[in-house]
Structure 1
Amino acid sequence: MPVAPIPVLPSTPAAGPFSCASDALTCVEITASASQAQASLPVTFGQPFKAGDWLPATQGLVAKVGSTTIPLQTDEISSHRDGSARFAVLSAQLANVQPGETRIINLYRGSKTSNTPNVPANPDWNLELEAKVYDGSGNVTGTFVAQPQAQLQNQIANGTGRRLSGPVASEYTVVAQFKNKATGAVHPHLTARLHTGLYDSGNRIRTDVVLENTRTFTSGPGNITYDLSIKRNGTVLHTQPKFTHNHHARWHKVLWTGGAQPTNRLRHHMPYFMASRITWNYDLSLKVPETVLAADAASLAKADTKPMGPAYIAPYFPSTGGRADIGPLPRWAALYLVTQDDRTRASLLANADAAGGIPVHYRDESTDQPLSIEKYPSVSVGYGSSTPTIPAATGSTIWDPDQSHQPSLAYIPYLITGDAFYQDEIMFWGSWNMAYGNPEYRNRGDGLVKWEQIRGQAWILRSISEAAHALPDNHAMKGLFRNVLAKNIDWFAANYVNNSSNSPLGAIEKPDEFGKTGPWQNDFVGIVFSRLAEAGEPKAKEVLDWFSKFNVGRLTNEANGFCAAQAPGYYWMIRDSSGKFITSWSALFSVNYPDINSAACSSMGVEGYPDDAAGYAAYIRAMLGAAANAGVANAASAYAKWKTMTPKMDAAFTTDPTWAIIPR
């Protein structure tokens, strides 16, 4: 059942579009807070690039405001297959920004340069974290303290654990243990990861304080109840009241010390963002009503966004019906992309933070990285025997995650912010998806998704591809995600494109029901493979073309006896009564719609909630738009046809653009 739409009332539009310099690659817009002037305004953000636009091996990147060049550094670069940048984390420095002032930072190719970061040997950081831990009866079992200053100094001296490095920002990931104040014993599971960004020559420090309960092989995993205080030089900066931290979960809090937190709004040039093909091409012409944005802000204010709270995410993943978190991207992510409104950004990041509380986070103690099926081909965190054994966790949570109903929760947040917390979140979800299934079913270290429901196969591949495409080239986990993605695409090519024992119409047979297919689940697979094809993944386009015989063909075979109005079917038979695959469109129609005469196609009403933004008819819109962008034959004309057959859907997309993927 589709998600109930929010009522649309007369509205005031969100912030409008802006333009880059005509000779720039792209740009971002920075608008300062109206409350204060800022002598120094550093900004760090993620930026995707079109293939071929910037070659980091031989070219630099230059930032200008007007004709003035400003400091810029580039980090965490992920490349397209041709060696050009796909994505990078950028840090720029603005000076003397007045209250409410807006500046456009234009980006250009330039000469490659090297920058020496200016980092003090002993920054005035001095954070201390104190956790008071309780047992199930509410009794204090110990007070644990983490003091990471000496470790930061050591990492600065040795150049280790550094993620960002340049004239604007140097960021170090400091992993700190909690030690019992009375005994000195290390807490076996609670760990602090502090992503420590030094700005303004280290005089101003941004610390993303991450509390993790994620260890994979340490005995006795379970929920931990504690309260927390974060201090600097003895002064309390933040307190977290007593709560229960889920097993295999994490949460975070960003703090600024040494100076005021920079206050600004950053907006990407979204037409270029979409043109980079880093995500699907959402309809930027949609005018989301002010009432929708206000309602979203009101909903967020009522949502549980405390550590371990669900925000908007459905805790019971297998729940059926239309949901705001299910789609190529969740509704809140699509709303942000088409509006870049501050309220939608708040929802986007709140739900990405909530994802940290879901017990899918397994960090390998020996590598300090998420669990790898390359290192442990026979490991399993879901079902089936696991080698090595993973200790069972104690304590219940509100969450019941599964793979067939999982949202994409951290990908867009990482792409717009470049934050390490969201980068790790992408990896944790990709790792969980690979390690969840029975090792025998997934072919152990190959991580094949063939064993899941069809929709689950789509969403697992989406998760793995997010990590494969977003992680920097030099990351220790990059090769794993790329290899598993490639092995899955190869499997699809071998078992569908080059396998005559499948449906000649291109339908995917349900693995659990002989002779049946779910057209809408086929659409999910088509949507994901369209992104893989646009990303240049080898063999992805030929796999997509095979699936598109069915996906697009449902709209283009009226002359062959199949009515397009019935394209959004729920489940169809794709074998005849003798168990053989149906070979013609007219036979497919007659088997599944025996009471309808295909000769009267033009008089039929469209199935699948054609007026709704989140029904089966909307899935087809997204599939066709994505397929057209990947170059599938007849997809663009089929999209135009389906658009005329679902005329009320465009207005519905202004309320919910989850499926509003359009041809480029």
Structure 2
Amino acid sequence: MSSSTTQTTVPITFGQPFKAGNWPSAQGLVATDSTGASVPLQVDQIASHQDGSVRFAVLSAKVSNVQANQPRLINLFLGAKSSTTQTIPADPDWNLELEAKVYNGNTLVSTLVAKPQEVLKQNIAQGTNRRLNGSVATEYTVLAPFKNSATNEAHPHLNARLHTRLYDNGARIRTDMVIENNWTFKTGPGNITYELTVRKNGQVIHTQPKFTHNHHARWHKVLWTGATAPQYRLRHHMPYFLASKATWNFDLSLRIPESVLAQEARDLSASDTVPMGRAMLNPYFPSTGGRPEIGALPRWTVLYLLTQDDRARASMMANADASAGVPVHYRDEGTGQPLDVQRNPNVSVLFGTSSPALPAVSGSTIWEPDTPHQGSFAYIPYLLTGDEFYLDEMMFWASWNIANVHPTSREAGKGLIYENQIRGQAWGMRSIAEAAFAVPESHPQKAYFKTILANNLTWYQANYTNNASISPLGAIENRYEAGRAVPWNNDFMGIVFSWMAENGEPKSQDILNWFSRFNVGRYIAESDGFCTVKAPGYYWYIRDTAGRQITTWRELFARNYPEAVNKPCANLTMNVEAYPATAEGYAAISRAALASAVNAGVSNASTAYTRWKGFTPLIDAAFLNDPTWAIVPR
């Protein structure tokens, strides 16, 4: 960590993934700094690997005597568990008041007020709604309804969730103020136009000018009260972060040019980052063509992982925040958690297909979300920060992807998502796996996402690895056009299932091995009649003209490239859609899929990756400008 100012003590909270087996759950964690001095450390919000060791934890540390512009290393070691907690006052000097003036056009229709101090005092007294608790930080989620100042009636939809983190025995308080308009079953959902003023002890500390809050959406703002807010910048040891397999192994040897990061900052500066703003996202998800959010991770997230540059971080966090404005956030009033199809087996966020029927929405937004063109918006921000806002975001997107499938197709409470485009299945499974992997073991939604993930893997195993009626070459047949396959969509599936297999998720390795017959096999089948140069195709036939499954590489090549039959492979050119000199074409996607397969231990994947890398040397330079698909073997 580092700071631009000298500070006596700096409390910090962050997320940290761990390699399987590195941290047995029976042991604790201790910290020292670069001088060897002990650093007070607390551990919260643990998620576990398959072997029971710690996969991820939210850590809080207190660093002393921080000098301006002098980096300080924080080293973590196994040690004894600690149960030390700080002393929290029964009535902290917090005293926030939120005032929302609600408008219909330019006409003020009501003034709403939320006064959360009494709720915080109750949480402290009863130890309820507490997320972090130790010697450094104590955090409560304070639920504060907005009430009409004239009638004292609670607003049916607008509410605040205040993630209130107390440091230094309550002398410093960090409040992540989250404003939500996202109940699932309450009648009359719609957009709400308001302006917001936040006061502490009557003094204004934040104002949000009038804007329209989308239905089923949320936004947040971090506020500090009390003693001076700590000033610091924390960076992770990225080689270990990636080695933990919390995400894919992006190429840390890439040296991203200054010009790329400067342009990222300019693009962000020119974007709309106010609440409900789109930032750099495309509001029309089904839009064709490549987009920076579409990849194993979005472009801006990969830029940050490779550089940990503040400009890339700002872009990543702004886009994660913008995704909160997309109307996919359905919170169940009965549980206080994102919508759960086990609890509501016939519910659907596709209006008209739900039982019980969801209330009709008034008002429109700029957004048209879907699953096939969806980015991973909040997963890495949560792993980096440990903030509840991003944990909830991650769960909301996974929950929506499940509930967006017709109840009959998903087999009601099983939550199956196969009734999707292939790329929709890939990104949907990614979102479910993100939640299943990162949600803390103690969280009420942990079992839900783990079960939904297991249900889907059981389905894939039964319908692919144990199904003799489908492509023996391992191609996934398009559900909406029999006899066709989309090779690059198959690569997306391979990338996601490789990540799950790396993390030891049961059944994922068998399924990946089946997908890899096609994803790996087509790059090493030249001696069997399939020219490697044609491997990154757009849309292929996988059945013959009589509707029978194609069983050999030679037949597959002839069916899709009849003009190239009997021509030397060396004389053929790559398909236009491969774009072998760019970072976003199918050639680059294939590199990512093959590298992912190598990391998951797929047979012959290393040979295929090395061979394809030799076919596409220009992609390496292109990755310097856009590293979205720059996944490499570990």
TM-score, normalised via structure 2 length: 0.99
Give the aligned partner of residue 356 of structure 2: 388
Give the aligned partner of residue 62 of structure 2: 93
Q: AA paired with 2:314?
A: A
> Is the CA contact 1:384–1:438 (under 8 Å) kept in the aligned structure 2?
no
Which of 357, 371, 375 is the aligned partner of 1:407?
Answer: 375
Aligned partners of 1:436, 1:300: CA distance in 2, in Å? 30
Give the aligned partner of residue 324 of structure 1: 292
Which of 540, 547, 569 is the aligned partner of 1:572?
Answer: 540
SS in 1 for 2:240: helix
Aligned partners of 1:627, 1:598: CA distance in 2, in Å? 31
After superposition, the C-alpha distances for 1:450-483 in whole angstroms (9 at most, x for unaligned) are 1111110001000111100010001000111000
Give the aligned partner of residue 151 of structure 1: 119
> Is the CA contact 1:446–1:487 (under 8 Å) kept in the aligned structure 2?
yes
RMSD: 0.8
Give the aligned partner of residue 424 of structure 2: 456
Which of 157, 172, 186 is the aligned partner of 2:154?
Answer: 186
> Is the CA contact 1:383–1:436 (under 8 Å) kept in the aligned structure 2?
no
1:251 aligns with 2:251: no
Aligned partners of 2:403, 2:491: CA distance in 1, in Å? 25
After superposition, the C-alpha distances for 1:313-357 in whole angstroms (9 at most, x for unaligned) are 100000001111111111001101111101000001000000110
Give the aligned partner of residue 587 of structure 2: 617
Q: CA deviation at 1:67?
A: 1.6
Question: Any residues of structure 2 matched to 1:432-581 within 5 Å, and which?
Answer: 432-581=400-549
Q: CA deviation at 1:605?
A: 2.5
Aligned partners of 2:210, 2:98: CA distance in 1, in Å? 14
Which of 27, 33, 37 is the aligned partner of 1:68?
Answer: 37
Aligned partners of 1:586, 1:44: CA distance in 2, in Å? 57
> Is the CA contact 1:45–1:91 (under 8 Å) kept in the aligned structure 2?
yes
After superposition, the C-alpha distances for 1:160-204 in whole angstroms (9 at most, x for unaligned) are 000000010000000101111111111110000000000011100
SS in 2 for 1:187: strand
1:650 aligns with 2:589: no
SS in 2 for 1:620: helix
1:31 aligns with 2:2: yes
SS in 1 for 2:625: coil
Aligned partners of 1:598, 1:409: CA distance in 2, in Å? 47
> Is the CA contact 1:561–1:599 (under 8 Å) kept in the aligned structure 2?
no
1:112 aligns with 2:81: yes
Aligned partners of 2:562, 2:88: CA distance in 1, in Å? 74
Deviates more, 1:597-606 or 1:150-159: 597-606
Q: CA deviation at 1:598?
A: 5.0
Give the aligned partner of residue 180 of structure 2: 212
Q: CA deviation at 1:113?
A: 2.5
Aligned partners of 2:262, 2:348: CA distance in 1, in Å? 43
> Is the CA contact 2:591–2:613 (under 8 Å) kept in the aligned structure 1?
yes
Q: CA deviation at 1:39?
A: 1.1
Q: AA paired with 2:288?
A: T
Deviates more, 1:96-105 or 1:224-233: 96-105
Give the aligned partner of residue 278 of structure 1: 246
Give the aligned partner of residue 26 of structure 1: none
Q: CA deviation at 1:117?
A: 2.9
Which of 384, 398, 422 is the aligned partner of 1:430?
Answer: 398
Aligned partners of 1:253, 1:102: CA distance in 2, in Å? 28
TM-score, normalised via structure 1 length: 0.94
Q: AA paired with 2:573?
A: G
> Is the CA contact 1:75–1:90 (under 8 Å) kept in the aligned structure 2?
yes
Q: CA deviation at 1:311?
A: 0.6
Q: AA paired with 1:102?
A: P
Give the aligned partner of residue 3 of structure 1: none
1:233 aligns with 2:201: yes
Q: CA deviation at 1:599?
A: 4.7
Aligned partners of 1:541, 1:473: CA distance in 2, in Å? 24
Q: CA deviation at 1:116?
A: 2.3
Aligned partners of 2:477, 2:567: CA distance in 1, in Å? 27
Q: AA paired with 1:639?
A: Y
Runs of 5+ in structure 1 lacking a partner?
Answer: 1-29
> Is the CA contact 1:589–1:598 (under 8 Å) kept in the aligned structure 2?
no
SS in 1 for 2:563: coil
SS in 2 for 1:131: strand
Q: CA deviation at 1:387?
A: 1.4
Q: AA paired with 2:585?
A: G
SS in 1 for 2:463: helix
Q: AA paired with 1:294?
A: A
Q: CA deviation at 1:606?
A: 2.6
SS in 2 for 1:102: coil
Q: AA paired with 1:372?
A: D
Which of 72, 76, 83 is the aligned partner of 1:103?
Answer: 72
Q: CA deviation at 1:614?
A: 0.5
> Is the CA contact 1:383–1:438 (under 8 Å) kept in the aligned structure 2?
no
Runs of 5+ in structure 2 lacking a partner?
Answer: none
Give the aligned partner of residue 357 of structure 1: 325
Which of 96, 99, 116 is the aligned partner of 1:130?
Answer: 99
After superposition, the C-alpha distances for 1:406-438 in whole angstroms (9 at most, x for unaligned) are 111000100100011000000100111111111
Question: Any residues of structure 2 matched to 1:36-47 within 5 Å, and which?
Answer: 36-47=5-16
Give the aligned partner of residue 130 of structure 2: 162
Give the aligned partner of residue 596 of structure 2: 626
> Is the CA contact 1:191–1:212 (under 8 Å) kept in the aligned structure 2?
yes
Give the aligned partner of residue 421 of structure 1: 389
> Is the CA contact 2:85–2:136 (under 8 Å) kept in the aligned structure 1?
no
